[in-house]
Amino acid sequence: MSDQLVQILEGNTFVVSDERGDIEASSTDPTGLFSFDTRFLSRWVLTINGQRLTALSTDDLQYFQARFFLVPASGTVYIDATLSVIREREVADGFHEDLRVLNHQDQPVELDIRMEAASDFADLFEVKDALAKKGSYQARVAGNSLVLGYRRETYERETWISATAPAAVDEKGMSFRVTVPPHGEWSTGLDIVATASAPHELPGAPIGIKAHSTHAVRRDMARGLAKWLERAPTIECDWKAVQRIYRRCMTDLAALRFSTLTMQGRALPAAGLPWFMTIFGRDSIFTSLQALPFTSELAATTLMALAERQGTRIDDFRDEDPGRILHEMRYGEVTAFEERPQSPYYGNADATMLYVVLLDEYERWTGDTKLARDLERSARAALNWIDEYADLQGNGYVSYQTRNQQTGLENQCWKDSWDSISYRNGDLPGFPRATCELQGYAYDAKMRGARLARQVWKDPAFADRLEKEAADLKRRFNRDFWVADGGYFAAALDTDGRQVDSLTSNIGHLLWSGIVEKSKAKSIAKHLVGPRLFSGWGVRTLAEGEARYNPIGYHVGTVWPFDNSFIAWGLRRYGFKEEAACLVAGIMAAAEVFDGRLPEAFGGYARSSTMYPVQYPTACSPQAWSTGAPLLMLRAGLGLEPEGEHLVVDPALPLLFGHLEILDVPGRWKQIDVCGRGHIDTDRVTKTR
C-alpha cells in the first residue's frame, strides 16, 4: 500500500486512495471511503476533457487532511502543463474535497470537468474474502445531489454526493462545463456523506445534505490534535530521531482513536488500518498499556468499553462465555445478518486476563481507585473465567478451541494465523492448545487481581486465594513447559500434554508476566538476544532454524515491534538491563528507517545482511500496538515503574540515545520530569551472546 494515501478520522471513518486522490476499488482492494466497516465510495475518479490526471506531489498534511497536486497527462515523460489541479481532502462524516483548477495561459480555457462516482457498499469482510453481495443497488438524482444506495431487507446504506458549484448530475457522477479566465481559477467544494438505517445504525444519519464548512472542520480537527499533543509529555533527546518518532507515535495514536456508538466523546485505540478500524480487545489493551506513561485516557475508555460488552452467556456461534472479554466488534452487513459472529466475537484466550492486568496497571499509574472499584464486578468475572471456562482440558492451564467451526478463529492467542504454533519439525498440534504466554497472563492476572482485592476492593480472603492459585500455577508451569535440552519454555502443550517444543518470542512475554523462576530467567534472556531469535532489529516471532521459520512469514519469523516492546519490559522486570537496551536500540532504529511509523511487522532478516528492515507485504500501517511500541520502549529504557505514590526511574539506555529527558510524565504523582543518559554499548552485548 505504499502507493496509496490513507486519511482517517479517529478510527470511525477513513479514505484510501491512489496518489492522484482517485479511488478505483476492486472487489478485494481496500481502497475507498469506509465508515463503520462499510465501503461507502468505491469509485471517485476525476477527469478533465476526458483525460485522467498525473500526480506531481501528494502532501499528507494531517492524519485527517491531504492535498494532491495534479496536471493533465502529457503522454510523454515531459511535463509542460498549462493547467494544474489541486485537490484538498478532509475526512469528517464522510469527506469534503475542495477542487481547484488553475489556468496558467494568457487566454481563457473551456473545460469539461467530470467526477465519476460509485459505491459497492462492500462489508470489509466481503472485501477481504471476495464475498458476493446479496442486496440491490440504487442510484438517483435528488435535487443537486447524487444518491447512491444499497438495500437488503431492512438494512440500508446510502452515500450522498453534492457540489457547491452548479453541476449536471447523473447516476454515475457529476459534470461541470466551465470557462477558466486567463491566469485564473475555478473551484468547487464536494461533499460525500455516509448514511445508514437498521440494523447497527450509524449515528447522526442525515435526512439531506449540508455542505461542510471546510474552515470550521479544519479548525476543529487541528485544535483537537493540538490539545492532544499539548497534554502529552515533552521529549528532548540528543538522538533527534527519538523526538520525531515520539511525535509520529502520538499523532498516529490520535488518528487511531475510535469512538463507540455508546460512548461518544470518549475514545479507545482501534487496532489498525485498513482492516481493523474497530474495537479489538487484545489490541486496545496492549496499546493502552504501552501508552500509560504518556496518556491514561485511552486505558480508562478501553476498560469501560470492554466491560460494557463483556460476555454474559454461553454462545457457541460467538465463542462467548460469561466474563470473557471480546476479541472484535464489527458493524457491517455480514455481521448484521449473522453470517459472521463479530457482533461482538469473543474468540481470544488472552484479552480476558489482560483486562485485569490493564486495570491494575492503570490504577497503579493514575491512583484512580474509583474506576478500579466501579469495574470490580467485571474484573472478578474475568478472573472467574480463567478457572471456570478457560481450562478446557481440566489440567489447570488456559487452553483454546473455537466452538464455531465455520468462521471461528483457530488460533486464539496473539499469534492468530493458522501456522503460528508448531513443533520443532514443523508439524502442527491439535486442539485444544495451551500456549505458554497464556499461562503467564493468567499468573499475572491473578497476582494483580490479588493486589486490587487487598488494596482497593478490601477483600483479603480473595487476595489470599488468588495468590495461592498463582503460586501453584507458577510451580506447575516451570515444570511442565520447560524444554530441558534447549533451555527455554515450549511454545505450548498439546492435547496430550506433550510439549510443542519450538523456540518462539513468546518466552519474552513470560518474563513480562513474572511467571518465570529466577533460576531459568538468565537462559531465557540469552535466547532473546541470541542469533536465532534476535535479528539485530528485533526479536523474531519464530527462531531461525525451526522447520517453519520464514523471515517474511506472518508469525513464523517476522519481527513485530509490539512483541518486542513487551519483551523489553519483561527483560527489565528480571533485571536484564543490557539485553533490554538491545531491543530498545533495534526497534527505535527501525522506527527511524520507517520515518517514525513502525508497521505491524517487518522481515526477520539478519541486520548484518540488510541495510534496512525489510517491509512486510500487507502489514497494517498505522497499527495501534506498533504505534505504541516506541512509547513502551522509552519506558523500558528509562526503567519507569510506579511504586506507591512515587515513580521509580532506573535508566539503562543504549549509547546512541545520549541524553534523554521526558518532561511532565503524568500519574498519581501529578506530573514529574525524568531523564537518563545512554551508556550501554548494545553492539558489544549482542556480540558476546
- What is the CATH code for 232-687? 1.50.10.10
Helices then strands, counting H and E runs in the chain, come out as 18, 29
Task: Quickly list DSSP for 200-266.
Answer: SPPTT--SS-----HHHHHHHHHHHHHHHHHHSPEEEESSTHHHHHHHHHHHHHHHTEE--TTSTT-
Sheet-wide strand order for 43-48: 23-24, 43-48, 109-118, 173-180, 168-170
* Residue where the block lists cell 483454546: 400
Query: Taking a C-beta distance cutoff of 8 angstroms, is the pair 658, 675 a contact?
Result: no
Residue 556 corresponds to which cell in the numbers above? 513464523
Average pLDDT over residues 154-176: 96
Question: What three-state secondary structure class fits 84?
Answer: strand
C-alpha cell at 550: 520464514
Confidence of residue 621 (pLDDT cuts 50, 70, 90): confident
pLDDT tens-digit readout, 116-145: 999 999 998 888 777 889 999 999 999 999
**Can you tell me the distance from the alpha carbon of 100 to that of 85, in angstroms, rounded to the nearest whole number?**
6
Q: Is 416 exposed, middle or buried (0-12, 13-18, 19+ CB in 10 A)?
A: buried
Mean pLDDT, residues 383-402: 97
Closest CA to 152 of 130, 140, 164, 135: 135
pLDDT of residue 173: 97
Separation of alpha carbons 278 and 109, rounded Å: 47
Q: What is the mean pLDDT of residues 297-317?
A: 97
Q: Is residue 464's pLDDT more than 50? A: yes
Residue type, 503: L
Which residues neighbour 329 within 8 Å (Cβ) at sequence distance 6 or greater? 260, 278, 279, 309, 342, 343, 344, 345
Collapsing DSSP to helix, strand or coil, 186 comes out as strand
The pLDDT of residue 201 is: 41
Residue 273's nearest CA partner among 628, 595, 620 is 620
Q: What is the pLDDT of residue 208?
A: 33
Which grid coordinates belong to 139?
442510484
CA distance 403 to 407: 10
- The CA-CA-CA angle for residues 621, 627, 633, to 5°, reads 140
Find the mean pLDDT for residues 269-282: 86
Q: Is the pLDDT of residue 12 over 80?
A: no
Q: How many CB atoms lie within 10 A of CB 220?
A: 13
- pLDDT score of 11: 54
Q: How far apart are CA 130 and CA 372, in angstroms?
A: 44
Q: Counting Cβ atoms within 10 Å, is residue 311 exposed (0-12), middle (13-18) or buried (19+)? A: buried
Q: How many angstroms separate the CA atoms of 192 and 291, rounded?
A: 34
Can you tell me which residue has the cell 491512583? 367
Q: How confident is the model at residue 359 (pLDDT cuts 50, 70, 90)?
A: very high
Question: Reduced to 3 states, what is the DSSP secondary structure of residue 660?
Answer: strand
Instruction: Answer whether residue 400 shows pLDDT above 80.
Output: yes
- Show the cell assigned to 597: 511509523
Task: Tell me the per-residue pLDDT of 63-84, one tens digit each, with 9 for 90 and over.
Answer: 888 899 999 987 555 566 899 9
Using CA atoms in the order 381, 382, 386, 387, what is the torsion angle rounded to 10 degrees?
-10
Least confident piece of the model among 221-225, 587-591, 596-600: 221-225
d(CA 457, CA 657): 42
pLDDT tier, 216 (very low <50, low <70, confident <90, very high otherwise): low
Rounded percentage of the chain residues whose pLDDT exceeds 90: 79
Mean pLDDT of the chain: 92
* Residue 209: per-residue pLDDT: 34
Cell triple for 506: 513468546
Strand order across the 499-500 sheet: 434-435, 492-493, 499-500
Higher pLDDT, 142 or 259: 142
Neighbours of 634 (CB within 10 A): 29
15-52 pLDDT per residue, tens: 999 999 999 998 777 889 998 889 999 999 999 999 99
Nearest by Cα to 448 from 400, 510, 380: 380
Given the candidates 3.40.718.10, 3.40.50.2300, 3.40.50.2000, 2.70.98.40, the CATH classification of the domain at 4-215 is 2.70.98.40
Cβ(430)–Cβ(495) below 8 Å: yes
pLDDT for res 5: 58
Q: Read out DSSP for 25-56? A: --TT---EEEETTEEEESEEEEEETTB-EEEE
Nearest to 595 by CA among 151, 252, 266, 355: 252
Mean pLDDT of 88-116: 93
pLDDT over 60 at 578, yes or no = yes
Query: For position 203, what pLDDT does the model report?
Result: 39
The C-alpha cell that represents 456 in the structure block:
482497593
Q: Which residues share a beta bridge with 117?
A: 44
Give the containing element (helix H, strand E) for 352: helix 351-366
Chain region(s) in the chain for CATH 2.70.98.40: 4-215
For position 344, what pLDDT does the model report? 95
Residue 542: helix, strand or coil by DSSP? Answer: strand
* CB contact at 8 A, 652 and 577: yes
| Confidence label for 7 from pLDDT (cuts 50, 70 and 90) | low
CA atoms of 344 and 613, how far apart (whole Å): 36
The tens digit of pLDDT for each residue in 654-686 reads: 999 999 999 999 999 999 999 999 999 998 887
pTM of the model: 0.92
Average pLDDT of span 469-477:
98
More confident residue, 331 or 378: 378
Q: Of 138, 195, 185, 194, nearest to 165 (Cα)?
A: 185
CB 162 within 8 A of CB 144: yes
Residue 4's pLDDT band (boundaries 50, 70, 90)?
Answer: low
Quick one: pLDDT at residue 76?
57
Decide the pairing of beta strands 155-163 and 168-170: unpaired
